Amino acid sequence: ETAERYVGGGVLRKEDPALVTGRATWTDNIKLPGMLHFALVRSPMAHARINSIDVSAAREQPGVVAVFTAEDLREEWAAPIPCGWQVTEDLRVPEHWPLTGDKVRYLGDPVAVVVAEDRYAAKDALEFVEVDYEPLDVVTDMEEALKEGAPLVHEDLGTNECYTWPLQNGDIEEAFSRADVVVKERYIQQRLIPNAIEPRATVAQREPGRGRFVVYSATQVPHIAKSVLASSCGIPEQDLRVIAPDVGGGFGSKLNVYAEEAICLVLTRKLGKPVKWVEDRSENYQGTIHGRGQIQDIELAATSDGKILGMKVRLLADMGAYLQLLTPGIPILGAFMYPGVYTFGAYHCQIKGVFTNKTPTDAYRGAGRPEAAYAVERIVDALARRLDMDPAEVRRKNFYEPFDEPTGTPAGIQYDSFNLQRALDRVLELADYEGLREEQRRRRESGDPVQLGIGFSTYTEICGIAPSQVAAALGGGGAGWEAASVRVLSSGKVEVVTGTSPHGQGHVTSWSQIAADALGVSPDDVEVIHGDTASAPWGRDTYGSRSLPVGGVAVYLAAQKVVEKAKKIAAHMLEAAEGDIEFEGGRFSVRGSPDRNVTIQQVAGAAFLAADLPEGMEPGLSAETFFDPPNFTFPFGAHICVVEVDTETGKVRIRDYFAVDDCGPVVNPQIVDGQLHGGIAQGIAQALYEEAVYDEDGNLVTGSMVDYLVPGAPEVPRYTLERTVTPSPSNPMGVKGVGEAG
Ligand code: MCN
């Protein structure tokens, strides 16, 4: 026991020794006796009718156990792969079965599955499946897709329009009529391909003896996967267990329930053997969701001295060929963020979701909000240029005054707490902003071929996707809570059970710190159990930077409950009144007589033995909590990126990157730095390197890492990071999420 506080301290990640020494359990490491493997025949065309499929030759290939088409598996499904976000009542949801039977709608659309004794035999047999495709006209461009007579991705829907979603707040026409200036821009959010280090992978098995199905999957969402797979495959929920073993990153792309997971499960049911599927990288580029893919038309009305009066946004959002779990909701998350850190009167946003013959889109780090941050930051820069004002000044002019209680926004939501001025002041100081402008002027005047660019982002974003009522009101079905249990074992060691499902974010370390402080034990004495629906039955998983502000807080609250009970037992043991018991550093003592004390370990032992407990008290020292916060959290910050642009070659070199972020109190500074490093790198990637490029026929031109440029360490700069601390009123720890802030 110790009186140190671990939260905020430099605790090294407990997960790392296993990860960096090859002792992790990736799904592909799981090898079960008699295990079969499958591979998918994927469409080589973006749009074609399937006239016939002949699998007879493939069935004869060495090692092949079975080959199935959509028709062969039809009986296996109780329901299609669902879309879980009903953004409007008339949302058009195309039927999405794990294998397609009538036609293919994007390059990579799965049409048949080959099951074999090993992965190589399955892959080798794919080319023996004969599919007679009748090519159809392809539509990849959203504006083309909305035109009369465009090829239809889903004929039965009669249109490529998925939905139209409006948001209106304030009198927008009045705001624009009062304006001295209106700036209007179109920004393109190119499609991106998420690149987790570990591609997707799934193993399914029927548990020996009991007969329950077990699915191991490289997923961010074992709990959601359990509900979805149970209903899609017609398995009673209690007969299905989903385990997310070590997961090598997701960045939103594993916040989904995929056809391959469902196929794996039904194959194990049908064939009576364990089955594995592992995605290869080029398959990942076609078959895992893509991110972004929006056309943003944005207009800003302002006064001549730079005060914003109103904003109009019209978005086209590329759904791709089908709706995955959250596809239509992603741009809507963004819709609430276009006003950003600026307060003004009127806001109007309209989003149209559009089907195209491309891989479905869905959540990719930030999911709608970085798109919004990008557009609002660029249009504010455009306003500054129009008015010949300093971009920092225009920002400051439109900032909220500092506040620490929920405050309404132009988009009709409530921000939790801000002190934007402090973050901006600090980043300007860090960057030596005056000096930079001076250097920029000098280079401009001397005609230096290398010019200096100074880019700003003063951002906020919705993190801590949570309140159940809000999630329900937005069509996301609710269940935005998170659960935790804290169990103090008989020896005084601690088990924390969490419903979050980390895949790189270090929850084992962070939750250990939280429990250690609350209970006065060492983080090394805390075991964190996660990612298995049998041992962590309640959970809503990890995405939307919700894990700390919802799940970590649940750990904190469960630990408080444990301390409450422990206090009663300690009072009984010390023969003192409960009100006289003080708790500090893992020790309960009687106020005024510090010598009369017991440790939490002694209390845990007494609670376990139950030989002498207060009258009527149940044995054991554990507690469970469901935390459903009243609001989201809104981290914010101010970033400055300094680039040198070679005007003769166009080459951009990032010279410096300064960031002052505010995510409330920090649990683990190194983890937060790491989260920011990664997020900023992904922003740089989109700005300078990455794009999923399709040709007119719907072929993915950037189909491998040779063409799709994921930046490496040489392409990202050294970051200068600092933080301010503005606690959130949304939870008792005051914490805000940070996983997508960078
Ligand atoms: N943290 C902290 N103090 C704060 C805020 C956060 O110490 N004030 C710590 C938390 O304790 C936690 C980590 O930072 O260990 C991230 O917490 P949080 O912001 O709650 O985000 P989540 O854990 O919910 O992570 C989700 C987020 C998302 S949405 C994407 S996408 C993303 C990201 O995390 N994908 C990642 N970061 C990733 N990092 C890795 N390595 N891999 C991914 O796939």
In the predicted model, is pLDDT for residue 54 greater than 60? yes
Distance CA 483, CA 387 (A): 51
Phi-psi region of 505 (alpha: psi -120 to 50; beta: other; left: phi over 0): alpha
* Pair 262, 103: CB distance under 8 Å: no
Q: Give the C-alpha distances (Å, rounded to integers) separating 715 from 470, 568, 650.
A: 40, 58, 15
- Residue in this structure with the two tokens 């990612």, named with its chain if needed: 531
Q: Which residues, listed in sequence order, are joined to residue 721 by a DSSP beta bridge? A: 659
According to the model, what pLDDT value does residue 477 have? 84
Sheet (strand 130-135) strand order: 103-104, 48-54, 130-135
DSSP letters spanning 466-484? --HHHHHHTTS-S---EEE
- DSSP codes of every residue in 516-577: HHHHT--GGGEEEE-SBTTTS-S---S-TT-IIIIIIHHHHHHHHHHHHHHHHHHHHHHTS-
Nearest residue by C-alpha to atom 10 in ligand 1: 548
- For residue 718, the CA-to-ligand 1 centroid distance in Å is 21
Cβ neighbours around 648 below 10 Å, total: 8
| Contact status, residue 578 vs residue 568, Cβ threshold 8 Å | yes
Residue 466 pLDDT class (50, 70, 90 cuts):
confident
The number of beta carbons lying within 10 Å of the beta carbon of residue 610 is: 11
pLDDT in tens, 587-615: 999 999 999 999 999 999 999 999 999 99
User: What torsion do the CA atoms of 703, 287, 676, 661 make, to the nearest 10 degrees?
Assistant: 110
Q: What is the position in ligand 1's atom list of the atom closest to the CA of 737?
A: 19
Closest ligand 1 atom to residue 542 Cα is: 24
Given this model, what pLDDT does residue 189 score? 97
For residues 30 and 451, give the distance between their C-alpha atoms in angstroms, rounded to a whole number: 53
Residue 196 CA: nearest ligand 1 atom is: 44
**pLDDT tens for each residue of 55-78:** 999 999 999 999 999 999 999 999
CB 586 within 8 A of CB 521: yes
Q: Give the alpha-carbon dihedral of 686, 688, 692, 696, to 10 degrees.
A: 130
Ligand 1 atom nearest residue 664's Cα: 8
Taking CA atoms only, the protein residue closest to ligand 1 atom 32 is 251
Read off the pLDDT of each residue in 619-630 and give the average, rounded to a whole number. Answer: 98
The pLDDT tens digits of the residues spanning 251-289 come to 999 999 999 999 999 999 999 999 999 999 999 999 999
Looking at residue 697, its pLDDT comes to: 97
Which 3 state secondary structure label does DSSP give 93? coil
Which residue is associated with the tokens 């879980």?
A: 84
Nearest C-alpha neighbor of 314 from the set 292, 296, 293, 334: 296
Q: Is the pLDDT reported for residue 536 higher than 80?
A: yes
CA atoms of 168 and 347, how far apart (whole Å) = 6
Provide the pLDDT confidence category of residue 674 given band limits of 50, 70 and 90. very high
Paired strand residues for 133? 50
CA of 537 to the centre of ligand 1 (A): 22
E-state strands within 176-262: 181-192, 201-206, 213-217, 240-243
Question: Is residue 83 over pLDDT 90?
Answer: yes
Q: Ligand 1, closest atom to CA 511? A: 11
- Helix (H/G/I), strand (E/B), else coil: 225: helix
Which residue from 16, 505, 632 has its CB within 8 A of the most atoms of ligand 1, so it is best to mutate?
Answer: 505
Which residue in this structure is represented by tokens 């106020």? Answer: 591
pLDDT tens track for 348-398: 999 999 999 999 999 999 999 999 999 999 999 999 999 999 999 999 999
Question: Which pLDDT belongs to residue 556?
Answer: 98
**Residue 504 alpha carbon to ligand 1 centre in Å:** 8
Q: Which residue has the tokens 């299905």?
A: 240
Checking 225-231 for CB contacts under 8 A at 24+ apart, the result is 225/257, 225/261, 226/533, 228/81, 228/82, 228/84, 228/257, 228/325, 229/257, 229/261, 229/262, 229/265, 231/78, 231/79, 231/82
Please work out, in degrees rounded to the nearest 5, the angle formed at the alpha carbon of residue 187 by the alpha carbons of 185 and 191: 170
DSSP 689: I
Look at residue 212 and tell me whether its pLDDT is greater than 90: yes
pTM (2 d.p.): 0.97
- Ligand 1 pocket (Cβ < 6 Å) reads 196, 249-252, 365, 503-507, 510, 542-549, 552, 663-664, 666-668, 671-672, 675, 678, 735-740
The per-residue pLDDT for 4 is 58
- On the question of pLDDT at 628 being above 90, the answer is yes
For every residue of 642-662, DSSP letters joined together read: EEEEETTT--EEEEEEEEEEE
Instruction: Answer yes or no: are the C-beta atoms of 357 and 698 closer than 8 Å.
Output: yes
The number of beta carbons lying within 10 Å of the beta carbon of residue 516 is 26
> What rounded mean pLDDT belongs to the chain?
96
Which pLDDT score, from 0 to 100, does residue 2 have? Answer: 43
CB 496 within 8 A of CB 513: no
What ligand 1 atom has the least distance to the C-alpha of 510? Answer: 11
Stretch 147-167: mean pLDDT: 98
pLDDT at 3 over 50: no
Give the position, in ligand 1's atom list, of the atom nearest the Cα of 513. 11
- From start to end of 303-382, where are the E strands? 308-320, 346-355
Percent helix, strand, coil in the chain, to 5, is 30, 25, 45
- What 3 state SS string does 690-701 have? CCCCECCCCCEC
**Mean pLDDT computed over 326-335:** 96
Cα(419) to centroid(ligand 1), Å = 22
Average pLDDT over residues 202-230: 95
Name the residue with tokens 């700390």: 548
Phi, psi of 313, deg, nearest 5: -130, 130
Please give the helix or strand (H or E) that residue 285 lies within, else none: helix 281-287
- What's the mean pLDDT in 133-161? 98
- Ligand 1 atom 37 nearest Cα: 739
Mutate to test the pocket of ligand 1, among 12, 632, 675 (most ligand atoms within 8 A of CB): 675
Reported as a pLDDT band with limits 50, 70 and 90, residue 210 is confident
